[in-house]
Amino acid sequence: MVASTPGNKAEKDAEENLSLPGDGFDAVMRAKAAVEEACPGIVSCADILTITTRDLVGLVIYVYKLSLSVISLMYPSGKPWFY
């Protein structure tokens, strides 16, 4: 996925992905390297992306629920003044 070889073009080098910032790929490589140090040959880049996506979705849901709580505290009647 991350590093191209002479016989295989990596996803990050695919034409449709060239406009993406390289930081995301670097973050995956750093996470993979850290996991590889503890568990060599066990976890793939796909595993890293899956776990990261799961955690990001959980964070987004948490922030959404938190914002609903804050809104309900700010507007006990249920409607903000601008509606």
Q: Report the alpha-carbon distance of residue 22 to residue 10 in Å, rounded.
A: 13
Residue 7 in this model has a pLDDT that exceeds 70: yes
Residue 78: predicted pLDDT: 66
Between 22 and 36, the more confident residue is: 36
With CA atoms as reference, report the closest residue to 27 among 56, 7, 5, 4.
56
The residue-averaged pLDDT of 24-37 equals 86
Residue 6 in this model has a pLDDT that exceeds 60: yes
Report CA-CA distances (Å) from 18 to 1, 10, 21, 46: 14, 11, 8, 19
Residue 23 in this model has a pLDDT that exceeds 80: no
Q: What residue segments make up the domains of the chain, in order of their start? A: 11-74
pTM for the model stands at 0.60
Residue 71: predicted pLDDT: 79
